């Protein structure tokens, strides 16, 4: 077997080892004997170097015309397109998601890169009349400075792209700290940006662990923006660390998303949505449909068909085209899922299928868990309240639409929700009343597109949105510009009163 490849950080336009020389292993979650690569285990000194490089590069990058910045992004998007298959295969190997979904992840990065490249020629501001004569008013977007981007493992390329591309098109420079489980996809993205011609220091990649790399990055005094996607626990720490210096902070955290199935729903369609939303990406999406609230008139039938579908899912290595659900990301995540299953049983929820680790044959080499459905859940149970991040769906019966909405909103999160119904009035009522940043009608809770704002209400986030032009509002500051060509002192609110 060829020796494993050793990867590096990217700092100030150079591929470099961590200063301490330490490394960590990136393992395939479907087969822990498969070493995907060796990555630098960085520390605060590497962060210092990367932030310094980004701070210096900012001086010139902010002055590059945005359409020119866009040209680099267009080139990067085309390179990603050319390499899509290889990038997807590498992603499945490091993260486990089935190849079809890994292709979707790369495609999302492509879409975001093209989209933000186009924003280079837009970034429209406003012109507006002044209240005074011979005076002109407009708004322009200004870049902010060094952006610290901290990303999770479940979308190893899409999320780094969601954060890098709007940051760059607005004229900021970037230090990206990818999740320790999936540094290869971030490495590949940064390599593409380098090949596309990004100037030195504008994009920096520092691999490593949260406490040693993420924590000093968000605390660095020269970092002006922090965008974080991950757990609520770390998000709270990031928010607190940024508060004292008033860094701009965008937080994307958990979800406990719900599908509502009314008695008039197309049940086959609703089951398809529940299977895709609950078990797609092995349930490891922040938009995963981990709760399904079903009208009591159709509850029994729905539960039976859902369980049949869940039991029929082929679980295995995501690189095998026959596989429909891959492994969990690592053993710690598997232990968390298993713990929640035990909690569900102890709470009195009815285990309808799954509920155990898969063993035997190839399963023994990876972190595989059976698709799991709990029935007759009380909405107050912990399995119906807390994010599990695994292939576990809780079914909750309801009496009517009002009851379903009340249950749907009874969690601390507010990322995504969905309703299956043929009744347009019910669909619009749910659209209005669900406290989530994303809402679907007759479609599952997952499937966000890059040109619409992405983010959640309540404790999912802190009020910002990623993607779409909404992202530009985070990665730039509005500057209001007044040009007085009257040739005399004109006092607003006084001379025109
Ligand atoms: P998950 O449970 O999805 O792994 P985490 O919140 O633990 O979510 O991790 C998300 C990202 O945040 C990862 O890149 C991780 O390394 C990083 N991270 C973890 N702890 C910290 C921290 N204290 N400060 C900053 N970043 C951190």
Distance 101 CA to ligand 1 centre (A): 23
Place of tokens 């459905």: 373
Please tell me the predicted confidence (pLDDT) of residue 496.
84
Q: What is the CATH number of the domain that holds 351?
A: 3.40.309.10
Give per-residue pLDDT as tens, 386-429: 999 999 999 999 999 999 999 999 999 999 999 999 999 999 99
Q: What is the DSSP letter of 18?
A: -
- Angstrom distance (rounded) from CA 51 to CA 429: 48
Identify whether 357 is part of a domain: yes
Same domain, 328 and 219: no
Identify whether 487 is part of a domain: no
Identify whether 150 is part of a domain: yes
Identify whether 497 is part of a domain: no
What residues make up the domain containing 227? Answer: 9-253+461-480
Judged on CB neighbours under 10 Å (0-12, 13-18, 19+), 61 is buried
Q: Which of 308, 291, 292, 299 is nearest to 353 (CA)?
A: 308
Same domain, 116 and 39: yes
Give the residue whose CA is nearest to atom 20 of ligand 1.
210
Same domain, 275 and 225: no
Give per-residue pLDDT as tens, 265-288: 999 999 999 999 999 999 999 999
Choice from 40, 179, 212 to test ligand 1 binding pocket (greatest atom count within 8 A of CB): 179
φ and ψ of 140, to 5 deg: -130, 150
Catalytic option among 207, 250, 286, 353? 286
Catalytic option among 252, 353, 377, 387? 252
Same domain, 354 and 384: yes
What string of pLDDT tens digits covers the 497 residues of the chain?
A: 677 899 999 999 999 999 999 999 999 999 999 999 999 999 999 999 999 999 999 999 999 999 999 999 999 999 999 999 999 999 999 999 999 999 999 999 999 999 999 999 999 999 999 999 999 999 999 999 999 999 999 999 999 999 999 999 999 999 999 999 999 999 999 999 999 999 999 999 999 999 999 999 999 999 999 999 999 999 999 999 999 999 999 999 999 999 999 999 999 999 999 999 999 999 999 999 999 999 999 999 999 999 999 999 999 999 999 999 999 999 999 999 999 999 999 999 999 999 999 999 999 999 999 999 999 999 999 999 999 999 999 999 999 999 999 999 999 999 999 999 999 999 999 999 999 999 999 999 999 999 999 999 999 999 999 999 999 999 999 999 999 999 999 999 999 87
Same domain, 149 and 176: yes
Same domain, 226 and 78: yes
Choice from 230, 236, 287, 332 to test ligand 1 binding pocket (greatest atom count within 8 A of CB): 230
252 flagged as catalytic: yes
Identify whether 99 is part of a domain: yes
Same domain, 229 and 378: no
Identify whether 451 is part of a domain: no
Please work out whether the CB of residue 348 comes within 6 Å of at least one atom of ligand 1.
no
Give per-residue pLDDT as tens, 459-488: 999 999 999 999 999 999 999 999 999 999
Identify whether 495 is part of a domain: no
Please work out whether the CB of residue 336 comes within 6 Å of at least one atom of ligand 1.
no
Please tell me the predicted confidence (pLDDT) of residue 4.
85
Same domain, 172 and 206: yes
Buried b (16+ CB within 10 A) or exposed e, 18-29: bbeeebbebbbb
286 flagged as catalytic: yes
Q: How many domains is the chain built from? A: 2
> CB within 8 A of 23, min separation 6: which ones?
6, 38, 39, 40, 41
Same domain, 249 and 267: no
Choice from 94, 184, 210 to test ligand 1 binding pocket (greatest atom count within 8 A of CB): 210
- Angstrom distance (rounded) from CA 362 to CA 275: 24
Distance 150 CA to ligand 1 centre (A): 7
Place of tokens 């093209």: 114
pTM of the model as a whole: 0.98
Same domain, 303 and 394: yes
- Angstrom distance (rounded) from CA 300 to CA 451: 38
- Angstrom distance (rounded) from CA 41 to CA 37: 12
Same domain, 244 and 283: no
Same domain, 205 and 291: no
Please work out whether the CB of residue 218 comes within 6 Å of at least one atom of ligand 1.
yes
Identify whether 345 is part of a domain: yes
Q: What is the CATH number of the domain that holds 41?
A: 3.40.605.10
């Amino acid at each position: 077997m060829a020796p494993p490849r050793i990867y590096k950080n990217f700092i100030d336009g150079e591929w470099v080892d961590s200063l301490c020389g330490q490394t960590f292993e990136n393992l395939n979650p479907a087969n822990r004997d498969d070493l995907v690569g060796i990555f630098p285990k960085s520390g605060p000194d590497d962060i210092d170097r990367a932030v310094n490089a980004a701070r210096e590069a900012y001086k010139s990058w902010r002055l590059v015309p945005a359409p020119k910045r866009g040209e680099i992004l267009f080139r990067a998007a085309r390179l990603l397109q050319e390499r899509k298959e290889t990038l997807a295969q590498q992603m499945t190997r490091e993260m486990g998601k089935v190849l079809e979904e890994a292709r979707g992840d790369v495609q999302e990065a492509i879409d975001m890169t093209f989209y933000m490249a186009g924003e280079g020629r837009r970034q429209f501001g406003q012109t507006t009349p002044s209240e005074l004569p011979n005076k002109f008013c407009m708004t322009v977007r200004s870049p902010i400075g060094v952006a610290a981007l901290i990303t999770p493992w479940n979308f190893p390329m899409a999320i780094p792209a969601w954060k890098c591309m709007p940051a760059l098109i607005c004229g900021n420079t970037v230090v990206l700290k990818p999740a320790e489980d999936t540094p290869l996809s971030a490495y590949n993205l940064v390599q593409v940006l380098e090949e596309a011609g990004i100037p030195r220091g504008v994009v920096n990649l520092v691999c490593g662990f949260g406490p040693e790399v993420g924590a000093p990055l968000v605390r660095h005094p020269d970092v002006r923006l922090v965008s974080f996607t991950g757990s609520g626990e770390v998000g709270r720490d990031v928010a607190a660390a940024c508060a004292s210096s008033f860094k701009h902070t965008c937080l994307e955290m958990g979800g406990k998303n719900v599908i509502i199935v009314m008695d008039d729903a197309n049940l086959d369609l609703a089951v398809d949505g529940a299977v895709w939303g609950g078990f797609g990406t092995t349930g490891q999406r922040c938009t995963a449909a981990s709760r399904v609230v079903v009208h009591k008139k159709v509850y029994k039938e729905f539960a039976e068909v859902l369980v049949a579908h869940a039991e029929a899912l082929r679980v295995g290595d995501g690189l095998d085209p026959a596989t429909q659900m891959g492994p969990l990301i690592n053993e710690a995540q598997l232990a968390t899922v298993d713990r929640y299953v035990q909690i569900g049983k102890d709470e009195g929820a009815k285990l309808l299928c799954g509920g155990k680790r898969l063993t035997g044959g190839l399963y023994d080499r990876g972190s595989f868990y059976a698709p799991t459905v709990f029935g007759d859940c009380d909405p107050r149970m912990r399995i119906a309240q807390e994010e599990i991040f695994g292939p576990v769906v809780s079914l909750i019966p309801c009496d009517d639409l009002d009851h379903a909405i009340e249950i749907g909103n009874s969690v601390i999160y507010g990322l995504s929700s969905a309703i299956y119904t043929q009744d347009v009035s019910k669909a619009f009522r749910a659209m209005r009343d669900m406290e989530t940043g994303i809402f679907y009608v007759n479609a599952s809770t997952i499937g966000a597109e890059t040109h619409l704002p992405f983010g959640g209400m309540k404790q999912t986030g802190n009020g910002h949105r990623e993607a779409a032009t909404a992202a530009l509002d985070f990665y730039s500051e509005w500057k209001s510009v007044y040009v007085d060509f009257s040739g005399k002192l004109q006092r607003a609110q006084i001379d025109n009163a």
